[in-house]
Structure 1
Amino acid sequence: MYTEPRVYVSDLAAYNSGVLHGCWIDVTQDLVDIQSEIQNLLKKSPVESAEEYAIHDYEGFGDCLVNEYSSILYVKELASFIGEHGEVAGSVLSYFGGTLSDAKMAMEEGYSGCYESLADFAEEITSQGVEVPESLAMYLDYERMGRDMELSGDIFTVQTAYNEVHVFWAN
Protein backbone atom coordinates (compact mmCIF):
# COMPACT_ATOMS: atom_id res chain seq x y z
CA MET A 1 0.00 0.00 0.00
CA TYR A 2 1.53 3.28 -1.15
CA THR A 3 1.34 6.32 1.11
CA GLU A 4 2.68 9.84 0.67
CA PRO A 5 6.29 10.12 1.84
CA ARG A 6 6.61 11.36 5.40
CA VAL A 7 9.15 11.16 8.22
CA TYR A 8 8.93 11.01 12.00
CA VAL A 9 11.31 13.64 13.37
CA SER A 10 12.45 13.31 16.99
CA ASP A 11 13.86 15.98 19.27
CA LEU A 12 17.27 14.56 20.24
CA ALA A 13 17.62 16.55 23.47
CA ALA A 14 14.33 15.11 24.71
CA TYR A 15 15.20 11.65 23.38
CA ASN A 16 18.54 11.66 25.20
CA SER A 17 16.68 12.68 28.39
CA GLY A 18 14.37 9.68 28.06
CA VAL A 19 11.38 11.64 26.75
CA LEU A 20 9.77 10.86 23.40
CA HIS A 21 9.02 14.14 21.65
CA GLY A 22 8.51 14.19 17.91
CA CYS A 23 6.05 14.47 15.05
CA TRP A 24 5.24 13.13 11.61
CA ILE A 25 6.09 15.56 8.81
CA ASP A 26 4.79 15.41 5.26
CA VAL A 27 7.93 15.77 3.13
CA THR A 28 6.02 16.48 -0.08
CA GLN A 29 5.44 20.06 1.09
CA ASP A 30 7.83 22.95 0.47
CA LEU A 31 11.28 22.71 2.04
CA VAL A 32 10.68 25.92 4.02
CA ASP A 33 7.50 24.44 5.52
CA ILE A 34 9.30 21.23 6.48
CA GLN A 35 12.08 23.20 8.19
CA SER A 36 9.48 25.36 9.95
CA GLU A 37 7.75 22.26 11.36
CA ILE A 38 11.08 20.99 12.65
CA GLN A 39 11.85 24.33 14.30
CA ASN A 40 8.40 24.39 15.91
CA LEU A 41 9.01 20.88 17.24
CA LEU A 42 12.31 21.96 18.78
CA LYS A 43 10.77 25.14 20.27
CA LYS A 44 8.13 23.03 22.03
CA SER A 45 10.75 20.66 23.42
CA PRO A 46 10.36 19.58 27.05
CA VAL A 47 14.13 20.03 27.31
CA GLU A 48 15.60 23.53 27.33
CA SER A 49 17.64 24.68 24.31
CA ALA A 50 16.86 21.73 22.03
CA GLU A 51 18.74 22.14 18.75
CA GLU A 52 19.15 18.75 17.14
CA TYR A 53 16.76 16.31 15.56
CA ALA A 54 16.87 12.92 13.88
CA ILE A 55 14.60 10.94 11.61
CA HIS A 56 13.42 7.97 13.67
CA ASP A 57 10.85 6.56 11.28
CA TYR A 58 9.57 7.02 7.74
CA GLU A 59 6.97 5.71 5.31
CA GLY A 60 6.01 6.14 1.69
CA PHE A 61 9.56 5.67 0.37
CA GLY A 62 9.00 2.13 -0.91
CA ASP A 63 12.12 0.01 -0.61
CA CYS A 64 14.40 3.04 -0.30
CA LEU A 65 16.06 3.45 3.08
CA VAL A 66 16.09 6.83 4.79
CA ASN A 67 18.96 7.35 7.20
CA GLU A 68 18.47 8.75 10.69
CA TYR A 69 20.67 11.73 9.83
CA SER A 70 19.73 12.21 6.18
CA SER A 71 19.49 15.87 5.32
CA ILE A 72 16.00 17.25 4.96
CA LEU A 73 16.93 18.53 1.49
CA TYR A 74 17.89 14.98 0.40
CA VAL A 75 14.71 13.51 1.93
CA LYS A 76 12.65 16.19 0.14
CA GLU A 77 14.36 15.31 -3.17
CA LEU A 78 13.61 11.61 -2.61
CA ALA A 79 9.97 12.43 -1.85
CA SER A 80 9.69 14.58 -4.99
CA PHE A 81 11.15 11.79 -7.13
CA ILE A 82 8.76 9.24 -5.63
CA GLY A 83 5.86 11.66 -6.02
CA GLU A 84 6.70 12.07 -9.70
CA HIS A 85 7.14 8.37 -10.52
CA GLY A 86 5.13 6.52 -7.87
CA GLU A 87 5.99 3.47 -5.80
CA VAL A 88 8.40 2.04 -8.38
CA ALA A 89 10.73 5.00 -7.75
CA GLY A 90 11.43 3.81 -4.19
CA SER A 91 12.44 0.40 -5.51
CA VAL A 92 14.67 1.95 -8.17
CA LEU A 93 16.29 4.15 -5.52
CA SER A 94 16.92 1.05 -3.43
CA TYR A 95 18.41 -0.73 -6.46
CA PHE A 96 20.90 2.13 -6.86
CA GLY A 97 21.68 2.35 -3.15
CA GLY A 98 19.84 5.65 -2.72
CA THR A 99 21.81 7.40 -5.47
CA LEU A 100 19.23 9.81 -6.82
CA SER A 101 21.07 10.73 -10.03
CA ASP A 102 21.33 7.08 -11.14
CA ALA A 103 17.69 6.40 -10.23
CA LYS A 104 16.55 9.48 -12.19
CA MET A 105 18.55 8.41 -15.25
CA ALA A 106 17.06 4.90 -15.10
CA MET A 107 13.50 6.22 -14.85
CA GLU A 108 13.95 8.83 -17.60
CA GLU A 109 16.13 6.96 -20.08
CA GLY A 110 15.84 3.24 -19.38
CA TYR A 111 12.29 2.52 -18.23
CA SER A 112 10.60 0.06 -20.54
CA GLY A 113 7.35 -0.50 -18.65
CA CYS A 114 5.50 -2.69 -16.20
CA TYR A 115 4.78 -6.32 -17.08
CA GLU A 116 3.18 -9.30 -15.38
CA SER A 117 6.42 -11.22 -15.86
CA LEU A 118 9.82 -10.94 -17.47
CA ALA A 119 8.60 -13.50 -20.04
CA ASP A 120 5.85 -11.06 -21.11
CA PHE A 121 8.51 -8.39 -21.69
CA ALA A 122 10.65 -10.79 -23.76
CA GLU A 123 7.63 -11.80 -25.83
CA GLU A 124 6.70 -8.17 -26.48
CA ILE A 125 10.12 -7.09 -27.67
CA THR A 126 10.51 -10.24 -29.76
CA SER A 127 7.22 -9.61 -31.56
CA GLN A 128 7.86 -5.89 -32.19
CA GLY A 129 8.13 -5.47 -35.92
CA VAL A 130 8.27 -9.23 -36.55
CA GLU A 131 5.36 -11.60 -36.84
CA VAL A 132 6.44 -14.91 -35.32
CA PRO A 133 4.88 -17.76 -37.28
CA GLU A 134 2.76 -20.13 -35.19
CA SER A 135 4.88 -23.04 -36.33
CA LEU A 136 7.93 -21.43 -34.68
CA ALA A 137 6.26 -19.81 -31.67
CA MET A 138 6.28 -23.04 -29.69
CA TYR A 139 10.09 -23.13 -29.88
CA LEU A 140 10.52 -19.73 -28.26
CA ASP A 141 11.14 -19.79 -24.51
CA TYR A 142 10.30 -16.25 -23.45
CA GLU A 143 10.95 -16.99 -19.79
CA ARG A 144 14.51 -18.07 -20.58
CA MET A 145 15.01 -15.13 -22.95
CA GLY A 146 13.95 -12.67 -20.24
CA ARG A 147 16.14 -14.32 -17.64
CA ASP A 148 19.14 -14.30 -20.00
CA MET A 149 18.64 -10.60 -20.77
CA GLU A 150 18.68 -9.86 -17.04
CA LEU A 151 21.64 -12.12 -16.27
CA SER A 152 23.67 -10.66 -19.14
CA GLY A 153 23.14 -7.16 -17.78
CA ASP A 154 21.11 -5.87 -20.73
CA ILE A 155 18.18 -5.11 -18.42
CA PHE A 156 17.40 -4.93 -14.72
CA THR A 157 14.08 -5.34 -12.99
CA VAL A 158 12.34 -4.29 -9.80
CA GLN A 159 9.24 -6.04 -8.58
CA THR A 160 6.73 -3.91 -6.67
CA ALA A 161 3.96 -6.50 -6.30
CA TYR A 162 2.92 -9.95 -7.43
CA ASN A 163 2.68 -9.87 -11.24
CA GLU A 164 4.17 -6.36 -11.32
CA VAL A 165 7.68 -6.39 -12.77
CA HIS A 166 9.19 -3.08 -13.90
CA VAL A 167 11.80 -3.50 -16.62
CA PHE A 168 14.68 -1.09 -17.30
CA TRP A 169 17.27 -1.12 -20.04
CA ALA A 170 20.74 -0.94 -18.48
CA ASN A 171 22.72 2.12 -19.50
Structure 2
Amino acid sequence: MEIYVTNLSQYNAGKLVGEWLELPCSEEELQDALSRVLDPDKEYFITDTEGLPFTVNEYDNIYRVNEKLEQYVALEATEALCVTFLLSEGYDWNYSIEHHEDVIVYAEQNLEDVAYSLVEDGCFGAIGTSLENYIDYSAIARDLSYDGYREREEGVFYYVG
Protein backbone atom coordinates (compact mmCIF):
# COMPACT_ATOMS: atom_id res chain seq x y z
CA MET A 1 0.00 0.00 0.00
CA GLU A 2 1.60 3.18 -1.18
CA ILE A 3 0.93 6.89 -1.54
CA TYR A 4 2.79 9.45 -3.62
CA VAL A 5 3.45 12.61 -1.63
CA THR A 6 4.21 15.78 -3.57
CA ASN A 7 5.73 19.05 -2.35
CA LEU A 8 2.94 21.59 -2.92
CA SER A 9 5.02 24.77 -3.19
CA GLN A 10 7.47 23.11 -5.61
CA TYR A 11 4.51 21.82 -7.64
CA ASN A 12 3.05 25.34 -7.81
CA ALA A 13 6.47 26.54 -9.04
CA GLY A 14 6.32 24.02 -11.89
CA LYS A 15 8.55 21.31 -10.39
CA LEU A 16 7.45 17.82 -9.46
CA VAL A 17 9.16 16.91 -6.20
CA GLY A 18 7.70 13.86 -4.55
CA GLU A 19 8.20 10.33 -3.36
CA TRP A 20 6.30 7.05 -3.09
CA LEU A 21 5.82 6.07 0.55
CA GLU A 22 5.06 2.50 1.52
CA LEU A 23 2.53 2.45 4.34
CA PRO A 24 2.03 1.60 7.08
CA CYS A 25 5.40 2.56 8.47
CA SER A 26 6.79 3.85 11.73
CA GLU A 27 6.35 7.50 12.60
CA GLU A 28 10.11 8.03 12.30
CA GLU A 29 10.17 6.55 8.79
CA LEU A 30 7.25 8.75 7.82
CA GLN A 31 8.90 11.88 9.21
CA ASP A 32 12.14 11.05 7.40
CA ALA A 33 10.33 10.57 4.08
CA LEU A 34 8.38 13.78 4.49
CA SER A 35 11.52 15.74 5.35
CA ARG A 36 13.16 14.48 2.13
CA VAL A 37 10.18 15.66 0.08
CA LEU A 38 9.23 18.83 1.92
CA ASP A 39 12.29 20.51 3.43
CA PRO A 40 12.23 23.49 3.79
CA ASP A 41 8.58 23.64 2.68
CA LYS A 42 5.85 22.29 4.90
CA GLU A 43 2.92 21.85 2.54
CA TYR A 44 2.25 18.61 0.69
CA PHE A 45 -0.52 16.87 -1.17
CA ILE A 46 -1.14 13.25 -2.06
CA THR A 47 -1.00 12.81 -5.82
CA ASP A 48 -1.56 9.08 -6.18
CA THR A 49 -2.25 5.90 -4.23
CA GLU A 50 -1.85 2.18 -4.87
CA GLY A 51 -3.43 -0.72 -3.04
CA LEU A 52 -5.26 1.22 -0.33
CA PRO A 53 -8.55 -0.24 0.92
CA PHE A 54 -10.10 3.21 1.28
CA THR A 55 -10.19 6.50 -0.59
CA VAL A 56 -7.57 9.11 0.21
CA ASN A 57 -8.04 12.75 -0.72
CA GLU A 58 -5.13 14.86 -1.83
CA TYR A 59 -4.99 16.94 1.36
CA ASP A 60 -5.61 14.14 3.87
CA ASN A 61 -3.34 13.95 6.90
CA ILE A 62 -0.63 11.41 6.06
CA TYR A 63 -0.20 10.47 9.71
CA ARG A 64 -3.92 9.65 9.94
CA VAL A 65 -3.74 7.61 6.70
CA ASN A 66 -0.79 5.71 8.16
CA GLU A 67 -2.72 5.10 11.40
CA LYS A 68 -5.71 3.73 9.48
CA LEU A 69 -3.46 1.38 7.53
CA GLU A 70 -1.85 0.15 10.76
CA GLN A 71 -5.34 -0.70 12.02
CA TYR A 72 -6.20 -2.37 8.72
CA VAL A 73 -3.14 -4.63 8.54
CA ALA A 74 -3.71 -5.71 12.15
CA LEU A 75 -7.06 -7.24 11.18
CA GLU A 76 -7.54 -10.88 10.29
CA ALA A 77 -8.10 -11.49 6.57
CA THR A 78 -11.88 -11.94 6.89
CA GLU A 79 -12.17 -8.88 9.13
CA ALA A 80 -10.28 -6.82 6.56
CA LEU A 81 -12.68 -8.03 3.85
CA CYS A 82 -15.62 -6.95 6.01
CA VAL A 83 -14.12 -3.49 6.58
CA THR A 84 -13.48 -3.12 2.85
CA PHE A 85 -17.06 -4.20 2.15
CA LEU A 86 -18.52 -1.61 4.55
CA LEU A 87 -16.32 1.10 3.04
CA SER A 88 -17.57 0.15 -0.44
CA GLU A 89 -21.13 0.45 0.86
CA GLY A 90 -20.49 4.08 1.82
CA TYR A 91 -19.74 3.81 5.53
CA ASP A 92 -16.86 5.86 6.91
CA TRP A 93 -13.65 4.44 8.31
CA ASN A 94 -14.48 4.58 12.02
CA TYR A 95 -17.91 3.04 11.51
CA SER A 96 -16.46 0.27 9.33
CA ILE A 97 -13.80 -0.60 11.93
CA GLU A 98 -16.36 -0.61 14.75
CA HIS A 99 -19.02 -2.64 12.90
CA HIS A 100 -17.06 -5.09 10.73
CA GLU A 101 -18.18 -7.92 13.04
CA ASP A 102 -21.78 -7.26 11.94
CA VAL A 103 -21.01 -8.47 8.41
CA ILE A 104 -21.78 -12.04 7.43
CA VAL A 105 -19.55 -13.49 4.74
CA TYR A 106 -20.87 -16.42 2.73
CA ALA A 107 -18.28 -18.53 0.96
CA GLU A 108 -20.72 -19.07 -1.90
CA GLN A 109 -19.84 -17.11 -5.01
CA ASN A 110 -23.32 -15.89 -5.92
CA LEU A 111 -26.69 -15.07 -4.42
CA GLU A 112 -28.44 -18.10 -5.88
CA ASP A 113 -26.01 -20.39 -4.02
CA VAL A 114 -26.75 -18.43 -0.83
CA ALA A 115 -30.48 -18.90 -1.51
CA TYR A 116 -29.96 -22.67 -1.70
CA SER A 117 -28.01 -22.60 1.58
CA LEU A 118 -30.63 -20.52 3.36
CA VAL A 119 -33.42 -22.87 2.25
CA GLU A 120 -31.39 -25.93 3.31
CA ASP A 121 -30.66 -24.31 6.70
CA GLY A 122 -34.38 -23.82 7.30
CA CYS A 123 -34.33 -20.03 7.26
CA PHE A 124 -37.67 -20.02 5.46
CA GLY A 125 -39.21 -22.70 7.66
CA ALA A 126 -39.56 -26.40 7.10
CA ILE A 127 -40.11 -27.24 3.43
CA GLY A 128 -41.12 -30.73 2.50
CA THR A 129 -39.12 -32.61 -0.09
CA SER A 130 -42.19 -32.74 -2.35
CA LEU A 131 -42.08 -28.92 -2.64
CA GLU A 132 -38.34 -28.46 -3.17
CA ASN A 133 -38.64 -28.61 -6.97
CA TYR A 134 -41.05 -25.65 -6.92
CA ILE A 135 -38.77 -23.22 -5.13
CA ASP A 136 -37.62 -20.31 -7.30
CA TYR A 137 -34.04 -19.84 -6.09
CA SER A 138 -33.32 -17.07 -8.60
CA ALA A 139 -36.28 -15.07 -7.22
CA ILE A 140 -34.98 -15.58 -3.68
CA ALA A 141 -31.54 -14.44 -4.87
CA ARG A 142 -33.06 -11.31 -6.42
CA ASP A 143 -34.90 -10.54 -3.17
CA LEU A 144 -31.70 -11.07 -1.18
CA SER A 145 -30.00 -8.42 -3.32
CA TYR A 146 -32.83 -6.01 -2.46
CA ASP A 147 -32.30 -6.82 1.22
CA GLY A 148 -28.63 -5.84 1.16
CA TYR A 149 -26.82 -9.05 0.20
CA ARG A 150 -23.95 -8.20 -2.12
CA GLU A 151 -21.99 -10.41 -4.48
CA ARG A 152 -18.29 -9.67 -4.54
CA GLU A 153 -15.26 -11.49 -5.85
CA GLU A 154 -14.51 -12.82 -2.35
CA GLY A 155 -18.03 -14.21 -1.77
CA VAL A 156 -21.40 -12.84 -0.73
CA PHE A 157 -21.59 -10.21 2.01
CA TYR A 158 -24.49 -9.14 4.20
CA TYR A 159 -24.44 -6.36 6.78
CA VAL A 160 -26.87 -7.14 9.59
CA GLY A 161 -26.49 -3.76 11.33
Q: Report whether the alignment pairs 1:9 with 2:2.
A: no
* Letter of the 2:89 counterpart: Y
Q: Report whether the alignment pairs 1:144 with 2:135.
A: no
Task: Tell me if the contact between 1:81 and 1:89 (Cα under 8 Å) persists in the aligned partners.
Answer: no
Q: Secondary structure at the match of 1:55?
A: strand
Residue of structure 1 aligned with 2:19, choices 12, 17, 23: 23
- Distance in 2 of aligned mates of 1:73 and 1:170: 32
Task: Tell me if the contact between 2:109 and 2:151 (Cα under 8 Å) persists in the aligned partners.
Answer: no
Normalising by structure 2, report the TM-score. 0.78
The CA deviation at 1:89 is 3.9
The CA deviation at 1:115 is 2.5
Q: Report whether the alignment pairs 1:59 with 2:57.
A: no
Task: Tell me if the contact between 2:102 and 2:160 (Cα under 8 Å) persists in the aligned partners.
Answer: no
Partner of 2:90: 96
- Distance in 2 of aligned mates of 1:113 and 1:36: 43
Counterparts in 2 of 1:133 and 1:28: CA distance versus 1, 3 Å: farther
- Distance in 1 of aligned mates of 2:31 and 2:142: 46
Residue of structure 2 aligned with 1:125, choices 93, 118, 123: 118
Partner of 2:37: 41
* Letter of the 1:103 counterpart: S
Q: Report whether the alignment pairs 1:75 with 2:70.
A: no
Q: Secondary structure at the match of 1:18?
A: coil
The CA deviation at 1:122 is 2.2
5+ residue gaps, structure 2: none
* Letter of the 1:145 counterpart: I
Q: CA RMSD in A?
A: 2.6
Partner of 1:46: none
The CA deviation at 1:39 is 1.9
- Distance in 2 of aligned mates of 1:147 and 1:93: 23
Task: Tell me if the contact between 2:87 and 2:96 (Cα under 8 Å) persists in the aligned partners.
Answer: yes
* Letter of the 1:30 counterpart: S
- Distance in 2 of aligned mates of 1:73 and 1:108: 26
5+ residue gaps, structure 1: 44-48
Equivalent residues, number: 155
- Distance in 1 of aligned mates of 2:12 and 2:65: 24
- Distance in 2 of aligned mates of 1:22 and 1:122: 50
Task: Tell me if the contact between 1:119 and 1:146 (Cα under 8 Å) persists in the aligned partners.
Answer: yes
Q: Secondary structure at the match of 2:45?
A: strand
- Distance in 2 of aligned mates of 1:87 and 1:17: 42
